[in-house]
Amino acid sequence: MTTQLTGQKMFLAGNWVKSDRMIEVRDPQDNSIIDTVPAASEEHMLMCIEEAKIGAKTAASMPVHERMKIVNSAAEYIEKNSEKYARTIASEGSKTIREATKEVARCVQTLRISAEEARRIHGETIPFDQMPGSENRVGYYYRFPIGIIGAITPFNDPLNLVAHKVGPAIASGNAIIVKPATVTPLSALLLAEAFVQAGLPPKVLSVITGYGSEIGDVLVTHPAVRMVTFTGGLEAGEEISRKAGLKKISMELGSNSPVIILEDADLEDAVESTVSGAFWAAGQNCLGVQRVYIQDSIIAKFEKAFVERTSQYRVGDKQSVHIDMGPLISEKEAIRVENLVNEAIEKGALLLTGGERNGAFYSPTVLANVPEGCTISKEEIFGPVVLLYSVSDLEEAIQRSNDVNYGLQAGIFTRDIEKAHSAIAKLDVGGIMINDSSDYRIDTMPFGGVKKSGLGREGIKFSVQEMTEPKVVCFKLAIH
């Protein structure tokens, strides 16, 4: 098998496959075509699923040490070729080269942790003799792979979020079919390349490129696909949930994360963390800081420092190491963000800095006094825009933080342990960062949201749990 270094073929069940129809992959910062990938058909998807039936048996019969070796080798290959991986992320996506380099390092970690987790897929003995009449029974449960997993991934972390599905799936003995975002398919194909180099048997993994609207339904509704793991927007997530039927579903969706700054906070640290959390990946980050609730006694000082720090952000050519923020994923997305900001300004919001668009670039933008009726006060912006609010106390900050349909992560800056505990207890989110912004994650922690931010948890150990089922074994003995 020869590996493709370009994305001109997709990886179907162990083979690099062409298609009559191609999709152009463009660099969002200048709209230049950087490659083309196949637009898969429903027949391609059906073929992948048929082949994955064999792949699932192969994967389940691979001993743990072999799965560990393969996943670790894939990590090693990516680490050795990290520059190529980072350049690909920074070309097809909107991340800067510094952001992309960090994503590659995290992907290596994600795979190494997955390999380690393979040896911890434990069961337990069951004391059957607790039930009168079961004195002569002994047994246990163990976890077995569920079979075929369908994975659908977004554009904003085009490598590591794919690794978060592929690593645990293979480590736990499953076959997996990945449909990456149409705008960023090359990083996912490079992940397949790493697994080919690592010696993964054919049919265990497919990376099928194509439009979600054309091939998504086949993957989501097919009865042989026992789990759909989706990361992306709320609209697609809800549609997929409706269609999937009786199978496991994991939903990692969006948010509009809040951060609370109390008057006893280390202001310098709070400004630095929230600015970075708001503008990482040009704000296209599910954990990105969108709403900041600041105690009124420090609002003037905080606002001034926040705007000053934001104004220092260097926006431009994402391939340059000197740049802090690149473009959005497309001009269309930048226009969407521009319209949302303009709507807020028309309704009375105060523009403190930013608000300028140039093609796919949108300047880091800070708004204050955003009225409740504006779309961005409740919905996810997914762009480099942050809303600053003044609040009288922690209770008000918590109430307003919770007053949205999302709940992925939150942050609070305070030195008061009682107040931190109160926020931990009362904020409706999947994770709370104390003295940090919402934008903090390591790849082993349980990661996911409440409300419309999702269902289930990722983070390797937790994905492995979702991707396996317990099987009970009970021996009835003649004597006891």
Residues that are catalytic: 252, 286
3-state secondary structure 258-290: EEEECCCCCHHHHHHHHHHHHHHHHHCCCCCEE
User: In the numeric block, which tokens belong to residue 479?
Assistant: 């004597």
Query: Distance (Å, rounded) from C-alpha 92 to C-alpha 414?
Result: 39
Give the residue, chosen from 16, 155, 313, 413, that forms a contact with ligand NAP under the rule CB under 6 A: 155
* Closest-approach residue to ligand NAP (CB): 216
Contact set for ligand NAP, span 230-249 (CB under 6 A)? 231-233, 236, 239-240
- Between residues 364 and 454, which has the closer beta carbon with respect to ligand NAP? 454
* Nearby residues of 421 by Cβ (< 8 Å), 6 or more positions away: none
Residues in contact with ligand NAP, counted by CB under 6 A, come to a total of: 30
Task: Give, in order, the Cα–Cα distances in Å from 80 to each of 73, 200, 424, 442.
Answer: 10, 18, 41, 22
CA angle, corner 205, sides to 202 and 206, nearest 5?
A: 105
Backbone region of residue 454 per phi and psi (left: phi > 0; alpha: psi in -120 to 50; beta: other values): left
The distance of closest approach from Cβ of residue 179 to ligand NAP in the complex, given in angstroms and rounded to an integer, is 6
- Between residues 93 and 364, which has the closer beta carbon with respect to ligand NAP? 93
Give the residue, chosen from 9, 26, 95, 179, that forms a contact with ligand NAP under the rule CB under 6 A: 179
Do 197 and 77 meet the contact criterion of CB atoms below 8 Å apart? yes
Give the residue, chosen from 258, 407, 454, 456, that forms a contact with ligand NAP under the rule CB under 6 A: 454
- Between residues 212 and 364, which has the closer beta carbon with respect to ligand NAP? 212
The distance of closest approach from Cβ of residue 261 to ligand NAP in the complex, given in angstroms and rounded to an integer, is 23
Amino acid at 99: E
Contact set for ligand NAP, span 201-220 (CB under 6 A)? 211-213, 216, 220
Using the structure block, give the residue that is written with the tokens 């009786």: 246
Give the residue, chosen from 113, 146, 181, 394, that forms a contact with ligand NAP under the rule CB under 6 A: 181
Q: Please, what is the angle between helix 64-80 and helix 82-92, to 10°?
A: 70
Determine which helix (DSSP H) or strand (DSSP E) holds 435, and give its type and residue range: none
Adjacent-strand bridge partners of 249: 228
Binding mask 245-274 for ligand NAP (x = CB under 6 A): -------xxx--------------------
The distance of closest approach from Cβ of residue 1 to ligand NAP in the complex, given in angstroms and rounded to an integer, is 26
The distance of closest approach from Cβ of residue 251 to ligand NAP in the complex, given in angstroms and rounded to an integer, is 8
The distance of closest approach from Cβ of residue 109 to ligand NAP in the complex, given in angstroms and rounded to an integer, is 16
Q: Please, what is the angle between helix 267-279 and helix 299-311, to 10°?
A: 50
φ and ψ at residue 348, rounded to 5 degrees: 120, 0
Is residue 154 a contact point for ligand NAP (CB under 6 A)?
yes
Q: Which stretch binds ligand NAP (CB under 6 A): 78-86, 228-236, 272-280, 464-472?
A: 228-236
- Overall size of the chain counted in residues: 480
Query: Distance (Å, rounded) from C-alpha 348 to C-alpha 195?
Result: 53
Contact set for ligand NAP, span 279-308 (CB under 6 A)? 286
> Which sign, positive or negative, has the C-alpha torsion 65, 67, 71, 74?
positive
The distance of closest approach from Cβ of residue 314 to ligand NAP in the complex, given in angstroms and rounded to an integer, is 24
Binding mask 373-412 for ligand NAP (x = CB under 6 A): -------x-x-------------------------x----
Give the residue, chosen from 148, 152, 281, 385, that forms a contact with ligand NAP under the rule CB under 6 A: 152
The distance of closest approach from Cβ of residue 436 to ligand NAP in the complex, given in angstroms and rounded to an integer, is 18
Do 113 and 444 meet the contact criterion of CB atoms below 8 Å apart? yes
| Binding positions for ligand NAP, rule: CB under 6 A | 152-157, 161, 179-182, 211-213, 216, 220, 231-233, 236, 239-240, 252-254, 286, 380, 382, 408, 454
